Structure formats: C-alpha cells, structure tokens
Amino acid sequence: MKSTLLRQVARASATPVRAPTFTAATRVPFSQTEKTATHLPHARNFSNGAILKEKAPKDDADHNKHDEYSTSGKPGAFEHEGQHSRTDNRIKVEYPEEDNLPASKPVQGRGGFHFKRTLASFSLEGRVGVVTGGARGLGLVMSQALVVSGADVAIVDLNKDEAARQAEELMKHFREENPGAENIPKVTAHYADVSSPESVNAAIAEIVADHGKIDNLVTSAGFTENFDAIQYPFDRMQKLWGVNVNGTYLFAIGVAKHLMERKAPGSVVFIGSMSGSIVNVPQPQAPYNAAKAAVRHLASSLAVEWAHAGIRVNCISPGYMLTALTKKILDDNPELANKWTSLIPQGKMGRPEDLMGAVTFLCSDASGYVTGADLRVDGGYTVT
C-alpha cells in the first residue's frame, strides 16, 4: 500500500501537464482533527466540483431562464405548474345509499375445466373463505376467485338479500362451467355491519355454524367519498373510518381468535388501496387515504403479532378499478377518466378480475412464506 502511494505521488510530481488539484493534509491526531483541520494552512478537502464551477463561464440568460423552474423563480410563472398534482375542491362524490348502489355480475368464463398446468399449491380446495363486502364490486369478484379455486365461501354484506342472490349466482356459474362436477363449492350469505363488534361476532359465529370452520378472510368491505377536507361532514368521516378501518380490525381479530382456538394456520388478506401510499389527484379524499394507510400498516403489524400462530396477514392495494360504481362516478365526472389514466404508466384502469390471481395467491399455500406484504395492483401508478 505504501509503495503504491509513493509511486502515485512521484508520478504526479513528475508530470508537468497540470498541477495537482489537492495537497495532502497534514496528519493530525484524531482527537484534534475536528478542532484544527480547517485551520491548517496546507490542509484541503477533496473537491466536489465547486472549483470547476467557479471557472466555468456563466451564461446569465440561460441561468435566469432555468432559474424560473426553481424555488427562486416567481410562483405561477408557468401555467402548467403543479396542474397534474393537486386536488380539486370542486369534485365532490358522496357514496350512494345502499338502495342506490349498482349491482355487480360474476365474471364470465373464469372457471371451468382447463388443461393449463399450474402449481397445486394455488388450490383452495377444502378451505373456507370469508369475504366482507362480497356482494358487489371487487368483493364479489374476489369471492368468485375463491370459489373457482375450490373454496367454500361465506359472503358477508350489509345487504344480505344481495349477498344471497350473488351466492346463488356463483354456485350456478360454477355448475355451468364445470358440468358433471361432484363437489360444488358451498356459498352462503351473511349480514354484518362491520363497524359493530356485536354484529361482527354474530356473523362469525353464524359462518362457523354453517361451514364448520374459517381458513381465509378477505376484508373487502369499504368505501370512499370525495370531499374537500374542510367541508367533509364529520359524521360521514366517522362512518368511513368505521367501515374501512374498524371493520377490517374487528373481522381480523374475530377470525384470528377462531384460528388460534383451532390451533390452525390461516391467511388474512386486507383490501387496502394505492391511496394508502400516495395522494390521489384531482379528487380530494384525505380521510379515505389515511384510512387505507391505516389498513396497510395494520396488516404489517398483525403479521408480526400473529406469525407465531401460523396466521399470515397481507394487504392488496388496488389502483383505479373499473367497477360498476366507478362507471357511475365517471358518468357524473367524465373528465376524471382522462386524468386518472394519464397518471398510470400502463395507461389503463384495471378490471376487478385483475385481482383474482392476487387474492388466490395470498390465500393459498403458494404464498406460504409471504406475510406483512403490500401487493399493489395499480398498473404502476405508485412507482412514478
């Protein structure tokens, strides 16, 4: 090492082309370095390019032009400043009452016999899955994913009549797509107000009575509203948090207790949102974003807390999904479609069926070593 350093110093001193850009600092004991190094007459730190910058010719015209793009420029110098990254308080979307919610349909052609090879560990045969908010939208499609993968399913919803209708539809579709099948998944409907501990406990007891056990939980019950934060009615915000956060927590601990009493492993999948990681624009929805951030971190926290019991807890964070309700929102606010898709690297909104593989993976043994994860299904929205 010393001989190499000496050769480098000798070579530098013998080269007449240019003078050295630095001189070696005088060696100072460690305890004195901090006090004295800056005062040494021959000591000099390595250059980071500042010297070259000083010698470079300065073009004031270019400097001033580009300076307008920095914080030293005048705010509002350009029309485009921040226009694609702000909320718009003119956008207001109130979640419909139960009677006005659009109905959803099971996905066509996603089950049935097939000859494509896949891992056996993706199968959910012999399992019982619970899907909250399973009568519509994303919840319905994820209920169908569990059924197609062989699980018995309990659909939990505030509207039990709609849940019962969809339970019959799912079993009907399975029979049509699997003619001659001997084992038809059992799909049942159950009422629950997920924000109420009593209602949640009653629903879980009913499900266990009907199915004998619970192996998987998917917490899809939730909703979003768009209000400027200052104008958001507090009672509606409490309801939003009650369903999205409290409902997720209550069902999770109820199912976890059941699994621990059985001393059985299980998988819990929270349905969060990319809104738990980013701030959506242009629609204002601060309480919803915060609620979904809570759901995402709750999944991580419970994953650690319940790992000893063999209970895995993960989160799926969908991006913009074209559900029946989303279509209704876009009918009322058509400008949002262009805005949303302009911010998605893949350039398109997702479909509910794009979540079928994700939820099956996280519920199945194929994800046996996955816990505390946040699986974002958003077309790349959150990575830009």
Task: Count other Cβ atoms within 10 Å, centred on residue 94.
Answer: 10
| Sheet with 152-157, side-by-side order of all strands | 187-191, 152-157, 128-132, 216-219, 266-271, 311-318, 374-377
Structure tokens at 224: 């979003």
> Active site residue: 104, 220, 232, 292, which one?
292
> Active site residue: 288, 320, 364, 367, which one?
288
List Cβ neighbours of 266 (8 Å cut-off, separation of 6 or more): 214, 215, 216, 217, 255, 256, 259, 310, 311, 312
Our answer to whether residue 2 is catalytic in this structure is no
> Active site residue: 273, 275, 364, 367, which one?
273
Our answer to whether residue 273 is catalytic in this structure is yes
Angle subtended at Cα 243 by Cα 238 and Cα 244, rounded to the nearest 5 degrees:
100
Whether omega for the bond prior to residue 265 falls within 30 degrees of 0, making it cis, is: no
Q: Are 283 and 229 in contact (CB under 8 A)?
A: no
Our answer to whether residue 292 is catalytic in this structure is yes
Q: Which residue carries 């494509």 as its tokens?
A: 116
253: Cα within 13 Å, side-chain hemisphere: 13
Helix axes 335-342, 324-332, angle to 10 degrees: 120
Catalytic positions, please?
273, 288, 292
